[in-house]
Amino acid sequence: MNGLKKQQKKALLNFDFDIFVSHLVYEDPAVKEKEYEEMRKIIVIGLDQLKPKYKEAIILYYLEEFSYKKISDILQIPTGTVGIRVKRGRDALKKIYEKMNIKTQYD
């Protein structure tokens, strides 16, 4: 039984993925750059409308990818407060983007 499992794993590892790669659609880097720039502008507009305490929590958590503990140390506030600020900031951003008619992943 173990021999059969090893053969199946080898078969999966030897699968030729090139047949899928050749069918990928070409993406124009200029289009990607324009989309990135538009997204950046939308993010900045939203962040600029947040209260500073929510803005800093959102930036540290989502953009800097710090843990709640690290943010707590940086801002010198309890970890629970960090979670509340991140949630309230995210909720505020959602309302801001709803007013702008922009869909978010939370809709």
Higher-confidence residue of 23 and 71: namely 71
pLDDT of residue 25: 60
Tell me how far apart the alpha carbons of residues 68 and 21 are, in angstroms, rounded to a whole number.
39
- 24: which DSSP letter? P
CA–CA separation, 62 vs 97, rounded Å?
Answer: 17
pLDDT per position as a tens digit, 45-80: 999 999 999 999 999 999 899 999 999 999 999 999
pLDDT of amino acid 11: 46
Q: Would you say the pTM of this structure is higher than 0.85?
A: no
The most confident of 14-28, 36-50, 62-76, by mean pLDDT: 62-76
Please work out, in degrees rounded to the nearest 5, the angle formed at the alpha carbon of residue 61 by the alpha carbons of 55 and 66: 135
Q: How many helices (DSSP H) and strands (DSSP E) are in the chain?
A: 6, 0
Dihedral sign for Cα atoms in the order 62, 75, 91, 96: negative
Round to whole Å and give the CA distance between 82 and 70.
Answer: 10
List the end-to-end C-alpha distance of the chain, in Å, as a whole number. 48
- Domains of the chain by start residue, with CATH: 25-99 (1.10.10.10)
Write down the residue that tokens 């790669």 correspond to.
21
